[in-house]
Chain A
């Protein structure tokens, strides 16, 4: 037996090596090349440039002076940037507090009572998520516009003066919440279908067992579904946070960050500094801040994923 084994090993090993060596390297090289090329031109080089620019003071197109960490120091005294930072984190906080529970309620009740309405309702709840952000912003303005907007018209028709006189987007105290409401309308659908797909993966016998024990719907949701969804909910919370860090489209198109700095986000400050004031150095520094913050949360997401490898 021993002799046989050794012979077999001897026979296969050199053959394997001979057969694989030349073609394999070429194949690997050619397969990875396109991806690496794309990333080198449009990612690695700009990343390097961002770090370099963030330490430069740029005035003209080619006039660059090294200033060290001056751009960063200035940022943390910049009213607009600080407002952006504040808004981004309160946006993340309120998304987790409002959007996730709402989505969980919808997802849970849609799967708990699956009937003829389930599929159409699911399609409706997901619909706003596929609308491009410009159209979402357009609809948001349609609903919240002063004088003729949907809510104001409704207030007029009902004779409620207080409702008809609200300026949702022009009032600094309300603008943030109006944009947030539009975002809730637009983005919750994704959380709904994601949570639905996760709830459907929970074994059916758990529910049968719970019902046999006389568990109510509330009890089943709290004692069985929520613990089972622990991991996906945490992932969604992180997605919410990273999404808020990158928030740009809706506030930019609905209010352009205004009135004043009421709806400024990190993305909008970057856009204002980089492409309106043409201050590349500062804009690059904001880019680095966004990168570092989202890196922290993305690593958190990956480390959560590692723990429950079977779900990935």
Chain B
């Protein structure tokens, strides 16, 4: 249709050809669309199946499972879940994990916003040097400093405390988020701050009443990301926590994996469900935000 309009001579193209071509391409697209959608659905099933099959296994007794693993359970029995709950104690782990998550949000984001703002707006030789000093942190993997970190925390009696976990976690997050907030504040037009300072606002006033509100969307995404990071941490908590009462959710699950085998599969399956449920609920509620937050971090990386 478009081609016909563009044609400068105003001539109509022979109408016989067009419909045949379009029909042909449409059928072609339809076929491959169906095939590819089927492939995608199969791949999605591969992702979902390991999360759904435990449900089928978990209501059975060991004997019932050994003979008919794939049949529907004869009765709904909760014994496996009760045993798995006692073995994992996910509730306690969850509480500790939440403390670590909030602690790490509070300790990561305000310093990163402040530093990012200064590095974006106050250029001098000193801030430049300080910026590179913080950038160093971006290049250092956690693994590199595990041993000294552990030794330091032991000598400060900070190991086996939750703040001893989220403070270093924040230190590892700050460089990255400083970079993000720096590029965010750089993208805000300079005139906004200048007009504020002409109106007599000082540095603090300009920052808190103009810049900080503008940074709200970026901050929300940062909070989600830092939360997910702390939620998923394993290595640091493995090194720094040895008291069972302080274990995070991850460590609870990991110690379950160490001490209970897969031989009693129904109980194991129940433990899988119990352990995965908090994250699944979180994702179900906030997947749009989680994906958005993940992307906002990734694009800047």
* B204 pairs with A27, CB closer than 8 A: yes
* A193 pairs with B295, CB closer than 8 A: yes
* B234 pairs with A38, CB closer than 8 A: no
Q: How far is the CB of B130 from chain A (nearest CB, A)?
A: 5
Chain B residue total in the interface (Cβ 8 A):
105
Q: Quick one: given A42-B168, A126-B287, A283-B146, are A49 and B44 in contact (CB under 8 Å)? A: no
Does B257 sit within 8 A of A, measured CB to CB?
Answer: yes
Name the B residues within 8 Å of A128 (CB-CB): 47
* B299 pairs with A197, CB closer than 8 A: yes
- Please report whether the interface of chain B is mostly helix, strand, loop or mixed according to DSSP: helix
* A117 pairs with B37, CB closer than 8 A: yes
Contact flags (1/0) for B20-50 with A, using CB distance below 8 Å?
Answer: 0000010011001100110111011011111
Does B294 sit within 8 A of A, measured CB to CB?
Answer: yes
From the candidates B33, B48, B147, B171, name the one contacting A284 in the complex (CB within 8 A): B147
* B118 pairs with A28, CB closer than 8 A: yes
Does A225 sit within 8 A of B, measured CB to CB?
Answer: no
* B183 pairs with A275, CB closer than 8 A: no
* B152 pairs with A124, CB closer than 8 A: no
From the candidates A28, A117, A266, name the one contacting B40 in the complex (CB within 8 A): A117
Does A245 sit within 8 A of B, measured CB to CB?
Answer: yes
Which residues of B (113-162) have their CB < 8 Å from a CB of A? Answer: 114-115, 117-118, 122, 124, 126-127, 130, 133-134, 136-152
* B111 pairs with A148, CB closer than 8 A: no
Name the A residues within 8 Å of B222 (CB-CB): none
What bracket does the count of chain A residues touching chain B fall in? 35 or more
From the candidates A42, A131, A189, name the one contacting B167 in the complex (CB within 8 A): A42
* B112 pairs with A125, CB closer than 8 A: no
Q: Quick one: given A35-B115, A39-B137, A142-B272, are A50 and B287 in contact (CB under 8 Å)? A: no
| Smallest CB gap from B235: residue in A | A248
Q: How far is the CB of A117 from chain B (nearest CB, A)?
A: 7
Which residues of A (36-52) have their CB < 8 Å from a CB of B? Answer: 36, 38-39, 41-47, 49-50
* B178 pairs with A35, CB closer than 8 A: yes
* A287 pairs with B275, CB closer than 8 A: no
Does B283 sit within 8 A of A, measured CB to CB?
Answer: yes
Task: Enumerate the 3 nearest inter-chain pairs by beta-carbon distance, A residue then B residue, closest first.
Answer: A49-B148, A42-B171, A46-B145
Q: B residues near A, CB below 8 A?
A: 2, 25, 28-29, 32-33, 36-37, 39-41, 43-44, 46-51, 53-54, 65-66, 69-70, 107, 110-112, 114-115, 117-118, 122, 124, 126-127, 130, 133-134, 136-152, 167-168, 170-172, 174-175, 178, 183, 202-204, 207, 228, 231-232, 234-235, 239, 249-251, 253-254, 256-257, 262-263, 265, 268-269, 271-272, 275-276, 279-280, 282-283, 287, 290-291, 294-295, 298-301
Q: A residues near B, CB below 8 A?
A: 23-24, 27-28, 30-32, 34-36, 38-39, 41-47, 49-50, 53, 106, 109-110, 112-113, 115, 117, 121-135, 137-139, 141-143, 145-150, 153, 156-157, 185, 189-190, 193-194, 197, 212, 214, 216-217, 235, 239, 245-246, 248-249, 253, 266-267, 270-271, 274-275, 280, 283-284, 286-288, 290-291, 294-295, 298-299, 301, 311-312
